[in-house]
Amino acid sequence: MTKKNKVNVTIDGRNFTVVGDGTEEYVRKLALYVDEKIKDLTSKNDRLSSSMAATLAALNISDELFKTSEELKKLKQETKVPMESYNEILRELEEVKEKNEELAKQCNVYKDELLDAKRDNERLAKDIEKYNQIIELKEKELQESQKMIKKLQDKIFDSQMELIEIKKELEEALKLYDNEKNIFSREEV
């Protein structure tokens, strides 16, 4: 059995001993509230007797209690559906968290793939640069070779021309020789 507390309070100038389960502080707050309500009513109408002021204060406090109770019922009703769907919302939240984690993992995979692709791209860019330098070097070598070929072709042409000239001179020399040989052979005859 719980211990009952006895608290002495003053309401509308009269002393009361209140016995109940509430703490002393709680009981004093209640008494002060009732006392203020009564004083508020008597300050507005000084013709009210103590019992009339207490009755009106009780009516006003009952009105507050009734309105508060109705509001509490309404709030309970409004929160009933959200509270009933609380477990469903938690389940959906867990699903969203799981999906978010999956997406984060997938994002990390894509980031890794992107980094790999960037590295490959950089490596390929370096390879391309290296091959471009090789191509440039080979083009220079090709130009040098083409110049060399041109020079050699020019030398061959010059040599062929010189050979033709020499052949002509040789043919002329042979003709002269044949002519002179014929001249000597006729003289001998």
- Tokens 């860019």 belong to which residue? 125
Query: Minimum mean pLDDT among 117-121, 154-158, 170-174: which range?
Result: 170-174
Q: Which helix (H) or strand (E) holds 7?
A: strand 5-11
Contacts 24+ apart (CB under 8 A), 31-39: 31/7, 33/61, 34/61, 35/10, 35/11, 37/61, 38/11, 38/12, 39/12
- Classified as helix, coil or strand, 80 is helix
For residue range 124-145, list pLDDT tens digits in order. Answer: 999 999 999 999 999 999 999 9
Q: Residue 65 pLDDT more than 80?
A: yes
Tell me what pLDDT residue 76 has: 87
Q: What is the mean pLDDT of residues 75-79?
A: 86
Q: Which helix (H) or strand (E) holds 47?
A: none
Domain boundaries in the chain?
5-84
State the Cα–Cα distance between residues 4 and 22, nearest whole angstrom.
8
0.75 exceeded by the pTM? no
Q: What is the mean pLDDT of residues 49-69?
A: 95
